Amino acid sequence: MIFSLDKLNEMSDSKLHEDQKYIDGLVQNNSFIIQSIYEKFAPKVISYVCKNSGDQDQAQDLIQEVLVVIYDQAKSKNLQLTCPFDAYFFLLCKRKWLNILKKSSLKQVTINEEIVSNNEPVQEMVLDTEHTETQQHLFDDMFQKLGKVCKTLLTKSFQLNSMEDVAKALDLTYGYARKKKSLCIGKLTRMIQESPAYQNLKT
Amino acid sequence: MEDRDYILFEDYLTNELDEGQKANFEKRLKEDKDFREAFELYQSTSHFLSHKFSNAQEREAFKQKLHKISDSYSETNKVAIHKTRYFKPWKLAIAASLLAIIGAFYSQWFSSTPQYEDFADHPKISLTVRGDSQAIKKEAEKSFNTENYKQAIPLFKSLLEVEPESIELQVYLAIALIEQDRFKKADTILNSILELPNAYSSQVKWYAALSKLKQEDYTMTKFYLELITEDAMEYDQAQDLLRKLD
């Protein structure tokens, strides 16, 4: 159930927030909207990072990273915002910053603040987005571990329009290319299933 | 799962099964938990790969644009901090008083009709273009961002020859044309963009209104402003301008 793609259906009962325009703007790569996200929401994140052992450059990197995470969530999971963008974006930034600090062994930092939200829709959206990010990292890591043949075949399979084109590009028969694609995805799913990170994601 | 199960998953996802096979597959999905979980993971993995490879170029373009906007934001922000450091509160008080006095005289002597210049606060642009147009792109950005619109116009035009469908480039060209008082061409571009639904629709309405404001055609300015819906980013400034036009 954790890997189900039906999140959209589950959320269809919730009311779409008017701030969905920021999500749509990110997906459409709309310069005006991206700039307005910076103008409206970046100062709060920068101030937070600077007050918690970071500097402006680190805050800017964090913002970029989080906006890419939101972009991925929107593109791959059709993110439908049911809470204000500010709350969603800020909580994602805060939680990611705390993780960065935790990983940095040089800094002993205490943040005396809750990093969960009392607001249920915000909390749910943030956890869902973080889940997708972790899942993507896991899938990516496992993909890198696949053999060269599978990597090439899968890359072409999702870059080109049809399996006929893939077969032609790789000098294979159509039937073999199709069969091999299924088996390569199958192999990847087995590697994912066997990884400890997958078990963590399921629980 | 066996190899044949993965082949079956792929056939099901690509609609290669006949009705009978499909019904059997769906029955097994309902009854066999392991089979269902394996299928869901297969589906998620396919979806992940599709996102990773089909959107790779788009995603890269997004990241590049983000990077440039972030840099530009950082620069502006640092300049702002630098400036305020030397601006003492007593200076601020004197400046505010002077502004109030000038403002009072201004409102007495001049008409209160809103001016194009009061609203034409164009954002700094950062372009992402395909192909070998990097040098022209940089020059176009520089010209636009330093308000050298005359120079920016031919540069946007040559970029549009490579990417004629880019709405973003068309919007920037239209802004540069408005700045140069070449309204007819600017309005044609903006109206042609408005005919099709696109990501820039509310910005285009805003600039179409600003073009008309600069031409002192207040009826058409209002017309375009009223098209801007409440959910748009430009709604507040559109309402502000509408109030000033009344």
Determine whether B93 is exposed, middle or buried from the number of CB atoms within 10 Å of its CB (0-12, 13-18, 19+): exposed
Mean of pLDDT over chain B:
84
What's the Cα-to-Cα distance from A97 to each of A51, A102, A121, A200, rounded to whole Å?
12, 9, 21, 21
Average pLDDT of the residues in A3-16: 53
Query: Which tokens go with A12?
Result: 């269809």
Residue of A nearest to B12 (CA): A182
Using the predicted structure, report yes or no on whether residue A65 has a pLDDT greater than 90: yes
Mean pLDDT check: name the lowest of A97-111, A157-171, B4-18, B229-243: A97-111
Alpha helices in A28-170 (DSSP H): 31-51, 56-77, 85-103, 120-145, 148-159, 163-170
Query: Do the beta carbons of residue A87 and residue A126 sit within 8 Å?
Result: no
* DSSP assigned state of B114: -
User: Which chain B residues touch A143 with a CB distance below 8 Å?
Assistant: 49, 52
Using the predicted structure, report yes or no on whether residue A108 has a pLDDT greater than 80: no
* A182·B232 Cβ contact <8 A: no
The predicted structure's pLDDT at residue B126: 77
The predicted structure's pLDDT at residue B57: 86
Residue B182 sits at the chain A interface (C-beta within 8 Å): no
Determine whether B193 is exposed, middle or buried from the number of CB atoms within 10 Å of its CB (0-12, 13-18, 19+): buried
Name the CA radius of gyration of chain A, rounded: 20
Judgement on whether residues B124 and B226 belong to the same structural domain of the protein? yes
Facing B65 at nearest CB: one of A29, A57, A178: A29
What's the Cα-to-Cα distance from B237 to each of A30, B224, B228, rounded to whole Å?
19, 13, 10
Chain position carrying tokens 């995805």 = A185
Compare B96 and B3 and report the one with higher pLDDT.
B3
Judgement on whether residues B103 and B138 belong to the same structural domain of the protein? no
Q: Which residues of A165-198 are buried (b: 16+ CB within 10 A; e: fewer)?
A: ebbeebebeeeebbbbbbbbbbbbbebbeeeeeb
How far is the C-alpha of A151 from the C-alpha of B23, rounded, in Å? 32
Band (B81; pLDDT cuts 50, 70, 90): very low
Q: How many domains does chain B have?
A: 3
The CATH number assigned to the domain holding B229 equals: 1.25.40.10
Query: Do the beta carbons of residue A160 and residue A146 sit within 8 Å?
Result: no
ipTM field = 0.86
User: Which chain A residues touch B233 with a CB distance below 8 Å?
Assistant: 21, 32-33, 36
Judgement on whether residues B122 and B215 belong to the same structural domain of the protein? yes
User: Which chain A residues touch B203 with a CB distance below 8 Å?
Assistant: 32
Residue of B nearest to A144 (CA): B49
Mean of pLDDT over chain A:
87
Judgement on whether residues B128 and B233 belong to the same structural domain of the protein? yes
In the stretch 9-68 of chain A, residues with CB closer than 8 A to chain B read 18, 21, 24-26, 28-36, 38-39, 42, 46, 56-57, 60, 63-64, 67-68
Judgement on whether residues B50 and B136 belong to the same structural domain of the protein? no
Q: What percent of chain B has pLDDT over 70?
A: 83
Residue B80 sits at the chain A interface (C-beta within 8 Å): no
User: Which chain B residues touch A181 with a CB distance below 8 Å?
Assistant: 10
Using the predicted structure, report yes or no on whether residue A127 has a pLDDT greater than 50: yes
Residues A149-197 have pLDDT tens digits of 999 999 999 999 899 999 999 999 999 999 999 999 999 999 999 998 8
Query: Do the beta carbons of residue A49 and residue A62 sit within 8 Å?
Result: yes
Facing A5 at nearest CB: one of B5, B47, B233: B47
Band (B92; pLDDT cuts 50, 70, 90): low
Judgement on whether residues B123 and B192 belong to the same structural domain of the protein? yes
Using the predicted structure, report yes or no on whether residue A114 has a pLDDT greater than 50: yes
Query: Do the beta carbons of residue A31 and residue B65 sit within 8 Å?
Result: yes
* B61·A136 Cβ contact <8 A: no
Query: Which tokens go with A193?
Result: 């299933």
The predicted structure's pLDDT at residue B100: 65
Domain range for B15? 3-54
The full set of domain ranges for chain A reads 7-118, 146-202
Give the distance from residue B130's alpha carbon to the nearest chain A alpha carbon, in angstroms: 14
pTM above 0.90, yes or no: no
Residue of A nearest to B72 (CA): A35
How far is the C-alpha of A117 from the C-alpha of A76, rounded, in Å? 24
